Structures are given as structure tokens and as C-alpha cells.
Amino acid sequence: MSYSNSSMGSGSRTGRRAFEFGRTYVVRPKGKHQATIVWLHGLGDNGSSWSQLLENLPLPNIKWICPTAPTRPVALLGGFPCSAWFDVGELSEDAPDDFEGLDGSAAHIANLLSTEPADIKLGIGGFSMGAATALYSATCFAQGKYGNGIPYPINLRTIIGLSGWLPGSRSLRSKIEGSNEAVRRAASLPILLCHGICDEVVPYKYGESSSHCLSSSGFRYLSFKTYEGLGHYTVPKEMDEVCNWLQARLGLEGSR
């Protein structure tokens, strides 16, 4: 995993902390622009590596926006600073969530999508910590607000999470069930989760429990795909699944 300390781009200020987001890479559609998806990298990575992979997918109608997370101290790495969408100490059901960092990154992503044309379908995807941030954005969309109560402004049409987990899972169901509008939005949002059985970084059980939590919280339009022998990386078969999912769910023209 590579570390990036780029300080280009816009900053996010949430409460006491302020972090500068790194460089954003954009892959322009080769055909008719029908959808824009923000794709989020994993811990210690940057937007460039994923932009190169996404550029080669047979999805000419999608514009990809690949931002780079801020460089911040990460508790999981003993406080070592690297690019991270939020702070994380350990992966467990009982670990505290960095809602301040999550809200800051979710707001940055929403801001990237806010200038897209009105007729363009919008989505968020990601790998590992990027997947976790995408799923957190999905919960903000359903509730109509960030964790800090500020309104969530984007109408999301799809979410993709590869080798990730769901932050804020403990309280999600009660938050969604407390609002009829949140129940409606959760049920309407297509989510694709993919996870390798042999993932040694984000164990498979966290992908599985995230899927169960989302489903029980009202995200009924959810597909959970598992891959035998797959560790903490992606393979062509998985990316084919992503392509097929996006083409079908977003109604893209001539993408395959």
C-alpha cells in the first residue's frame, strides 16, 4: 500500500479538526454521459491507482471521479499518518466510529457530485475503507442527513462496496425505522457488496454482517456477492460483476 501526502484540493472542516483532501482524478466518459460515480480508494492509497483501472472498464457512459483522502494519523497504524477517509482503531462491532471524519468525507464526496447535470445518475463506490465510506454515505442518503444533522443533498442511485464494512451499524436500524421517508429511501437504493472469503485485512465476517445489518435496516435492494479464494484485492471476475450491476441498475446504453 502506498502512502500519499498530497495537499492539493479542497479542505474539509468538521468541528475541531481540519484536513486537506488530496488530488482528485477524473475519468471522462468515452460515450454519452449518463452517470457519474465517485470511487473511493482504500487506506494509504490515492485516487490515481483506481482511476487507471476504472478507465479500462467497458462502461463508456460513466464519468468516474476518484478523489484522494486526507493524510491523517490513523490509530490502527499506531498514529502513523497516511491517506484515510476517517480514523479507525480496530475492526470490531464494539469499536467507536469516527463520525466526525466520516461526515467530513461524506460531505466532500457529496460536494463533488453536486455540480453534475440534473439528468445524470449519481453513485458512490469504493474499496475497503473507501467501501466503508460509500456505505456510510448510503445511510446518510437514507436518513436525509449526515451524522451531525446537516441535510444530505444528493439523490444517490447506486452504491458499490468491495471488501469493506459498515460504519455506524449498531444504531442504523433504529435511525431508519424512526422515519417513513428514511424507510422509503433505504428501500429504493440499489447496493452491491462484494467480499472475498479469504480477505485477511477486512475479514469476510464483517462484509457478511454489514450485509445483514443493511438488509435488516430496510436496504432491501441489496446484493451480496462472495468470492472463494479472494483476499484483500480485486479480480476481473469481481469487476465484471460491478460492470453488469451498473449497466443494469443505471440503465446505461451500449455499455457491454
**Running DSSP on this structure, what letter comes out for residue 102?**
H
Report CA-CA distances (Å) from 79 to 14, 23, 82, 183, 241.
20, 23, 9, 38, 36
Contacts of 147 (CB under 8 A, 6+ apart): 99, 102, 103, 140, 168
Single out the catalytic residue among 45, 108, 232, 255: 232
> Is 169 an annotated catalytic residue?
no
Single out the catalytic residue among 195, 199, 211, 217: 199
Q: Give bridge partners of residue 125 from the DSSP assignment.
A: 39, 160
Q: How many residues does the chain have?
A: 256
Single out the catalytic residue among 49, 51, 128, 217: 128
> Is 108 an annotated catalytic residue?
no
Of 30, 19, 39, 21, the residue nearest 159 (C-alpha): 39
Residue 253 has a CB neighbour count (10 Å cut-off) of: 11
> Is 212 an annotated catalytic residue?
no
Q: Which residues does the annotation mark as catalytic?
A: 128, 199, 232
